[in-house]
Amino acid sequence: LFVLYSAFYLEIGHYMDLLLKDSEIMLQGGDATYPEYDSNTSLLDFGSIWKLIYTLLFLALLAFVNIKKLKNRALGMVTLSLQLLAGLIFLAGGLFTQSELRYAFINRGASENFEIGFFHIGIRYVGIAFFGLLLFSIYRLVKSSFMKVDFKIPFQILLHISILWIASSELINWLDLTESGQSYKLGLSILWGVYALLLIGLGIRNTKKYLRIGGIVLFGITLVKLFFYDIASLGTIAKTIDFVSLGILLLIISFLY
């Protein structure tokens, strides 16, 4: 399995290296002995994302094959561990790499030698789709009888963390595309406050204590962010919107309790 995975992983890297080499352009005015070249460095980011997408797909397919055919608990535990690691890498590294492509798209006017298209933005949704497939495979794997693990609560926590993480990244993505200067302050605080309210509401309706506690913790983090990060550079109107919005959400949460 490791050799099978590595073969295609290395092939993807080799193909992207060839594309990078083919994109090299000799710059005019350089030294004839030591010429200067320019290349499409976005291909490096594309290569990293495609290899990560392949990893998500491979682990998801491995889980489905194990569920349908092999039913091997040892393989299932190894696959589950690798899936959690790959998911964390996607959230922490993959979304960051996609943000680099977003910056290249926003500043595409400065790129004279290479064409920068909408797939610099679109590839993030390909990655999110395969990350969703990975989460679904984790859900099916841990529910399998041969696994013999109670992963229901950890999976729900993982699911909500993933949704909030991707929603925050998506908010920043669109606010950057619209050239908004408050993407890391006002927008995120309101989003986190609304999601905290959602968690607490779900926890109360379904009598799930861990969701209520998670929502309270998230709202506490949002308040700390508000006082120690947001108000440092926000204007008067933005501060007012931030404080009033979170105040209303906090009143609603208090009313629910």
Please report the pLDDT score of residue 108 as a whole number. Answer: 81
Cα–Cα distance list, 243 to 145, 226, 239 (Å): 48, 8, 6
pLDDT of residue 110: 66
Spatial neighbors of 126 by CB under 8 A, at least 6 apart, are 53
Summarised one tens digit per residue, pLDDT across range 172-226 is 999 888 887 655 678 899 999 999 999 999 999 999 999 999 999 999 999 998 8
CA distance linking residue 190 with residue 238, whole number of Å: 11
Q: Where are the alpha helices (DSSP H) in 66-187?
A: 73-89, 95-106, 119-143, 152-177
Q: Does residue 10 register a pLDDT over 80?
A: yes
Average pLDDT over residues 155-167: 96
What end-to-end distance do the CA atoms of the chain give, in Å?
Answer: 51
For the cut 90, the answer to whether the pLDDT of residue 229 exceeds it is no
CB atoms closer than 10 angstroms to residue 27: 11
Among the listed ranges 84-93, 102-111, 198-207, 209-218, which one has the minimum average pLDDT value? Answer: 102-111
CB 253 within 8 A of CB 222: no
Rg over alpha carbons for the chain, rounded to the nearest Å, is: 23
Q: Which amino acid is at 32?
A: A
Distance CA 255, CA 257 (A): 5
Alpha carbons 1 and 66: distance in angstroms, whole number: 12
Measured from the Cβ of residue 67, the count of other Cβ atoms closer than 10 Å reads 18
pTM over 0.75: yes
